[in-house]
Structure 1
Amino acid sequence: MAWLESFVLDEPNWLIVTALGAVLGATAQWWWLAARHLLVRWKPHRMQGEWHECHYTFRYGREELGRGRLTIKKGLLHRVAVTIYDEERHVKGKGHGLDYSGELTGEDHILISVRERNHPHTVVMRFNDPLPSNPEPIVGLWLSEDHDRCPAAGVTLLTRDRLSDEQACALLRRHSAIGRRALRIKPHADLKEGRRARPTE
């Protein structure tokens, strides 16, 4: 046993290298997965940058054009973070309009899910996945509630440059398969009125 003790005392570096090699060899797959995850997480996303959004919604039962400003960037809590200000907030500043934050993910389409910062109000948007050259407009659907607090959905567009009202209206109508630019469930009051107006048998 004396030779073994002598070997250990004389060659400590060899033992350390062997132990480290064994640990690294056993965990190599995990290191590779961790490195790959970091590279993918911080790789620039083709949707990064500033976008203008337009859609139709309802206010007091009437269809109206809505607009937003999206900022898409790499995030800490989310791989791709999204913030949205509606145009009123962007023009008039803090305390006006709506302010959303959330994330962008992918599942065959581009999926954006955001929540209003000041009250429970979630918006989900699903867009056609653009080609690498980012052809515009990027067309999708939004699902949320309108300004009358009714569940609603409609066509939404993303463009790098702001569209005029005329351009936005024409494109929203062109990309709507049903001829309307937004849909919503009838308010509960309307349904009750309809029941009262129904003739009795």
Structure 2
Amino acid sequence: MKRITVLTISIIFIVIGVPAFAEKVKDVIVVNDPVNPVPIVGETTVTNTVDIEVVNADPLPVIIEGGFQRIPFQRQQQSSQVPDTISVTHHYPVPDGYTLVIESFSVLTTVPSSQVLFRSSVTTTASANSAEHHFDLPELAVIGTSRYYRGLHSVRLYADSGTNVSITIAKQDVFTGTLTVFSSISGYLIPEGATRLGP
């Protein structure tokens, strides 16, 4: 009698799950059409890495607080009184087509130690109305034969297109010594008649 040996081989298949689809990273192109501009308002959160390309038909305008396009403006002058006068006036012209908003101005002046100042003012024209604004100019020191005055003022003054902003300093009398004035103004320009460009 013959013995028959039966060898049983078990094969175990391990099936590993595969996602039904693989996520892909795609480029997103945003076209800023000047007729229908893309609003840039608020904030959003992107959970995945996304490449974004912004294509502008025209450059986007730079708009800052207040909704106006602002151009920084600052100027300075230094001069001394001419003979037979008691004052020095510095004129700062406002460029045509713009309104000037003055945020600060400063003055440093010297007179003979035997003299004092009696006038310090800045004159502006806004909406075709002129106004003279008087300001304090404290005495700084007496050094040798000169008396020094200095002041820096934060303000909100306006000046129309094509007008002058004028800073005037006057001393005690016309005959004694020389008055020397250094002045500066700082602010920004906005287009004349500008309307709000943003919220």
Q: Which has the higher contact order (CA 8 A, sep 6+)?
A: 2
Q: TM-score, normalised by structure 2?
A: 0.27
Larger CA Rg, structure 1 vs 2: 2
Between Structure 1 and Structure 2, the one with more helix by share is 1
